Amino acid sequence: MSTYSPNEIMTIAASRLLTNDDVCFVGIGAPSAACNLARLTHSPKITLIYESGTLSTRPTVLPLSIGDGELCDTALTTVSVPEMFRYWLQGGRITVGFLGGAQIDRFANLNTTVVGPYDQPKVRLPGGGGAPEIAIHCGQIFIIMAMGQRAFMDKLPFITSLGHGTGKGSREALGVKTRGPTRLITDLCVFEPDADTSELTVTSIHPGVTRDQIQANCGWPVKFAASTVETPAPSELELTVLRDLQARTKAAHAA
């Protein structure tokens, strides 16, 4: 059996959620790696959209930012940012938003704004960009993040992007009609919102990972589904394609 890193199984498990029929709004970083791995393996017809307005882009290397020329060069077309958000996103034409974040809470709300108090933060983060709009207008949201006590918090200092608010019904109370986060893929396990409470609940544990490890890396008491399963290990094809993509990216950005 092939050896693989926690980051590799996280990326691969995330990529498996995507299909040929998806129109996916892609975040930079881990979301981009997962989405392009899906495109290069089981979902070659997936439509990938980036915030800069690139439609059906097919990058050969992973972009450094939404302004990376690789996205425009390999896109079917590029539209203006106002058109991207007003027509495509707010128009309900995007099935999946794929996001990451600096911090997350048990209801899948994301913080990408500050660490610590807003008025006197320990760290000022990059901010929301288009993520707050993506979080409420895409049909559903997948989130990919590595676990750790500083990232998985009982209470966020700031909510940048809405998940399930304070629990079941919070989105609907705000007039939001989309499903919100349906999967949180981490380097240790996969979470899904509980049907009754919308609290993130572990439904799949990666091979070799224990429940104690998951709890040790989470800032709230973790709930496990009664039917928790083991995440299928990465295949040789998935690992090969992912590693080739990352090697090409490293070489291109080092030039």
Catalytic residues: 51
Residues making up the chain, counted from first to last: 255
